[in-house]
A and B are shown apart, each in its own frame.
Chain A
Amino acid sequence: MMNYIIPLESFAEHDAKQIGGKAYSLGVLLARGITIPPGLCITTRAYDTYVRSTGLLERISMELSRKDFGDMRWEEMWDASLRIRNMFLNTPMPSSLVGVLKGPLEEAFGLRPVAVRSSAPGEDSSKVTFAGLHETYMNVRGVYSILEHIRLVWASLWADGALLYRQEMGLDVTTSAMAVVVQELIDGEKSGVAFGENPNDETQVVIEAVHGLNQGLVDGTVEPDQWILERRGGRILSHTPVKRELIVVPATVGVHLEELDPGMREVPPLQPDEVGRVYELAMKAGDVFGSPQDVEWTFLQGDLFLLQSRPITTLPDRRSTDDRSWYLTLRRSFGNLRKLRDKIENELLPEMIVVAQALSGKDCTSLNDHELAEEILRSAEIYDSWEKRYWRYFIPFAHGMRLFGQVYNDTVRPVDPYEFMDLLVTSDLLSVKRNRMLEAMAELARKDYRLLAAVKVRGDTSEFREFTELMDGFIDAFGDLSCGVSSCSYDRESIKIVVRELATRPSGREQGRPRDMEKLTEEFLSLFPGEMSLFAAEVLDIARASYRLRDDDNIYLGRIKRQVILARQEGERRLALRTTAAPGTISDQELVRALQDPRYVPQAAVVPEETAGAKPVRIRARQLIGQPASRGIVSGVARVLEGMDDLLSFKAGEILVCDALDPGMTFIVPLASGIVERRGGMLIHGAIIAREYGLPCVTGVPDATELIQTGCRITVDGYLGIVILS
């Protein structure tokens, strides 16, 4: 018979499957005389009972079958994972299960602090290790808190990383389950990791150690001293000390990173005899399992405890075939995010602005052909280098919002897992500022029918001084509207078209819902006791920066791209008489060659033939599922954005349907009554801007721009994440 709870010292071989890899190996080590913190295992049966009796099982299935896994972007995996986690947070354990678990947990731990760790079956198998995908919670006290954290560890069975590796892990909603290890927390004075075999040299063992708990070492915030030893005999070959500055210690709840006491900074965490004891421990663990082990350990008052042991493996590297795994490695610790923010705000953004300004100062039309060829290459190169930095620094910083989302949901337990976004919404986004300037022009036109008439017939507006000044200011600040997309019409007409359309709407419809941000913020922070509120305030601050930058960086990058496009366009204009190739089909190299050699005829790049649509389509969509990205419901006429023309013919009140909403297009958002986007995610630009304007929005609708046609009446249900076609 399967039990719900088994002490680590008393499980039998046949329990292996329901206690998971981590609990199993701890039990085996304990049986062989290795000291581990005393603990219990909550078996997979408890998980099973919980998800089945509460109906969670089907809710998880429904969440994960909204679309094919193959179609899911990493952001959508993160979103699915967040929603599932929230389901666990808001679904209490049935009282019968609490009844079974409570007694043994109380008896074993009382109010002593514990660690609550995942122990998924197959998690640390010898083929692949998925260490770090599932959660561990340190310093949890009291039976009710332990039970809550067990639920959080269960939820991490569906962590975004786990979803990505679901095939390798054999993750399946109906059969997968998670066991949990609850162990006494050992408040060690020094801790670390021993690698039973140096990945670079199999004759060696590597030991890393820090003062305090080893969380800082494991997540990379505290740098460890390192020793290299001979595998045979354990002779120390080298010791590499580091600048010891930080230490992780238990806080009232969880753990806390603080400055290391100055007196401790000069002292290596381990003395040579202690290095020897860690070496012995690693070797013994290797003997027990018959293969070299990675071992986490800690010293408390001279006693050496083994915390965790797993076979040495490498994470599966699928970067080449599936770049979503790369994104998921971008989970950043709080410390890393802080550093990243500093770099972005104080170094990268100011530099980016200078570069963008310098680029736009150059008038391509005044260059001779050779200079223009150089400008095409130079601007493309600059753009490339910024695009690389964009991926390397700006994209990872989006995790600032995610970290906050997790902290918020853990504390507030909202019904809507995206409620945290309400605390991030700001009117300082560049694209909102830009729209506000357009709105100011529209307001002038609303008040002055002569100006309105001039705008409508695209006549001369130069006599309207205030309007002209606003327009000049707008172009100075943001360039013209169309840049940032693939073509660039360098004139004021496109701005007038949008202003004319905006003027047909009543004024003052910027913010969708009134918010008292200060009150919201205060309420949120008051949920954290003492020093925790400082942490919460900083996480919130980082999240707000992350939210703002997520948008602004695109705008700055767009300004750099504008020069690339302008230079290319000028080149194409000059070569128009020499080639039949359509604009946009000639590569940079061809353009440059033709500009440098007056006799050369540039060739169009080969554009793949369109294969779809050969047969008359006798199928149409009636209702499509995406993600609910901004609440509300609206019906209206769809306008599918395929190119610049669609942007400029956008009519007030239409529903914007696009592949991916680019910040270069957001100027039409104030005209839209709803947004549908093919690209998925709750924190993508389209979703952010829709929330900013209070527009219903559904993202992640596969084939949205093919299945929905301009002119079609559609309903956007931003509550359920569906689009209905009439």
Chain B
Amino acid sequence: MDFTLRKVAISEPRKLTEQLHELFFTQPLAVLSTAGNGQPYCSLIAFAATDDIHNLVFATTRSTRKYANIQNNARVSLLIDNRSNEVADFHNAMAVTATGTVAEISDEEKADLLGIYLKKHPYLEEFVMSPSCALMSVWVQNYYVVRRFQNVMVLHVG
């Protein structure tokens, strides 16, 4: 009946970070959303995350619409999830929406991030190394984590 001091360990940021890390490690693909002239535009991309999950890295050729959009508006969003495309996803799946700012990685910074990217996607080496291809990095501000169909937590990273 009393007001008792209840200090429950709330889902700590560390635990959630680990879960995201695991998700990013196991999911090869993400949906990237860019905007051009106010028109949202989605693309399927192969991505990789840095260990601290602050950055999401992907590659694109410079002639794509997403690349053009990014030149005008660096604010992007990504969706990464573990759905199986079956009904069980409604209670089982986890979906993460990342929001942040994207920039092309300069040659000086490239070594580390390229290593991370190719470690996850070794089959894309030829593609990434092509002179027409840009390696992009999203500096993530927030992760919106959806589980149990409707449970949403926000993790601030940037």
A contacts, CB < 8 Å to B:
55, 57-58, 61-62, 64-67, 174, 484-486, 557-558, 561, 607, 610-613, 615, 617-625, 641-644, 659, 662, 664, 702-703, 705-707, 720, 722
A65 cross-chain contacts in B, Cβ below 8 A: 91-92, 148-149
Binds A, one of B11-19, B76-84, B99-107, B119-127: B11-19
The CA-CA distance from A58 to B87 in the complex, in Å, is 6
Given A61-B90, A65-B148, A485-B1, A619–B153 Cβ distance below 8 Å? yes
A643 touches B7 (CB 8 A): no
B149 cross-chain contacts in A, Cβ below 8 A: 62, 65, 625
A643 touches B3 (CB 8 A): yes
Within 8 A of A (CB), among B4-30: 4-14, 16
The CA-CA distance from A621 to B16 in the complex, in Å, is 12
A623 touches B3 (CB 8 A): no
A625 cross-chain contacts in B, Cβ below 8 A: 148-151
A664 cross-chain contacts in B, Cβ below 8 A: 1
A619 touches B3 (CB 8 A): no
B155 touches A610 (CB 8 A): no
Q: Is B152 part of the contact surface with A, judged by Cβ < 8 Å? A: yes
Given A65-B148, A612-B9, A706-B8, A622–B91 Cβ distance below 8 Å? no
A619 touches B13 (CB 8 A): yes
B8 touches A641 (CB 8 A): no
Task: Using CB atoms, name the residue of chain A closest to B89.
Answer: A58
B152 touches A612 (CB 8 A): no
Q: Which of B16, B153, B155 has the most CB of A within 10 A?
A: B153
Q: Which of B12, B91, B144, B148 has the most CB of A within 10 A?
A: B91
A722 cross-chain contacts in B, Cβ below 8 A: 150
Q: Is B157 part of the contact surface with A, judged by Cβ < 8 Å? A: yes
Q: Is B88 part of the contact surface with A, judged by Cβ < 8 Å? A: yes
The CA-CA distance from A659 to B157 in the complex, in Å, is 29
Q: Mark B116-158, 1 if CB is under 8 A from A, else 0.
A: 0000000000000000000000000000100011111111110
The CA-CA distance from A687 to B147 in the complex, in Å, is 25
The CA-CA distance from A620 to B11 in the complex, in Å, is 10
The CA-CA distance from A611 to B12 in the complex, in Å, is 12
Closest 10 CB pairs of A and B: A623-B152, A65-B91, A622-B152, A486-B2, A58-B87, A61-B91, A619-B13, A62-B91, A612-B7, A622-B154
A561 touches B1 (CB 8 A): yes
A705 touches B13 (CB 8 A): no
The CA-CA distance from A123 to B13 in the complex, in Å, is 42
A703 cross-chain contacts in B, Cβ below 8 A: 8, 10-11
Chain B proximity of A353: nearest CB distance (Å): 19
Partner of B148, one of A67, A617, A618, A720: A67
Partner of B144, one of A61, A64, A613, A622: A622
A484 cross-chain contacts in B, Cβ below 8 A: 1
B10 cross-chain contacts in A, Cβ below 8 A: 612, 617, 619, 703, 706-707
Given A58-B91, A62-B91, A611–B7 Cβ distance below 8 Å? yes
A57 cross-chain contacts in B, Cβ below 8 A: 87
Task: Using CB atoms, name the residue of chain A closest to B9.
Answer: A612
Chain A proximity of B92: nearest CB distance (Å): 7
A641 cross-chain contacts in B, Cβ below 8 A: 3
Given A65-B148, A486-B2, A664-B1, A618–B155 Cβ distance below 8 Å? yes
User: What are 25 A-B pairs with beta-carbon distances under 8 A?
Assistant: A55-B87, A57-B87, A61-B88, A484-B1, A561-B1, A610-B5, A612-B8, A612-B9, A615-B14, A617-B10, A617-B13, A619-B11, A619-B13, A619-B16, A619-B153, A619-B154, A619-B155, A621-B152, A622-B152, A622-B153, A664-B1, A702-B8, A706-B7, A706-B10, A720-B150
